[in-house]
Amino acid sequence: MESENKPRILIVEDHPLIAELVETRLRIEGMHPIKCPGGREALAVLAQEPLDAVICDIMMPDVDGYEVLRHIRSNPATKTLPVIFLTAKSTPADIEKGIALGANHYITKPFSGLDLVHKVRLCLEERQGSTASSASR
């Protein structure tokens, strides 16, 4: 029951060590992380779980991060869900593509845990602010 008030963050990462690192960092910060080893599993979780944000790798073997983001943005129930790409794709063209497709933030690997947490908190604050302003209309 204690996790009900904690922000629920989906981690979509095919590298187990990175997924574990992100999960541990989010738990320490008082969040409720949910890990998925790939895009196909993420699509299933997105259909079933209420989430507050998604941290997603791009290069994954089955369904890549771009496809996960397209799915999120095309579904009315998830289209405003904040998405942070966490990826080794680090060229300016890669970053531009991720943002153009609708990612809220783009973090390249290797990454700082502090920066990741900061971006997650920004997304949560923005989402809370937009939810509050739409509720007051």
Residue 137 is predicted with a pLDDT of 43
Residue 26 is predicted with a pLDDT of 98
DSSP 60: -
Confidence of residue 127 (pLDDT cuts 50, 70, 90): confident
Query: Among candidates 100, 102, 70, which has minimal Cα distance to 84?
Result: 102
Query: Among candidates 52, 50, 53, 15, which has minimal Cα distance to 36?
Result: 15
Residue 55 pairs with which residues in a beta bridge? 11, 84
Q: Report strand pairing: 105-108 vs 53-56.
A: unpaired
Residue 90 is predicted with a pLDDT of 96
pLDDT value at 1 more than 50? no
For 2-24, the pLDDT digits (tens) are: 456 899 999 999 999 999 999 99
Q: What is the pTM of this model?
A: 0.92
Q: Which two tokens stand for residue 134?
A: 């739409």
CATH 3.40.50.2300, applies to 2-126? yes
Q: What mean pLDDT comes out for the span 23-48?
A: 97
Q: What mean pLDDT comes out for the span 18-46?
A: 97
For 75-106, the pLDDT digits (tens) are: 999 999 999 999 999 999 999 999 999 999 99
pLDDT value at 74 more than 50? yes
Q: What percent of the chain has pLDDT over 90?
A: 87
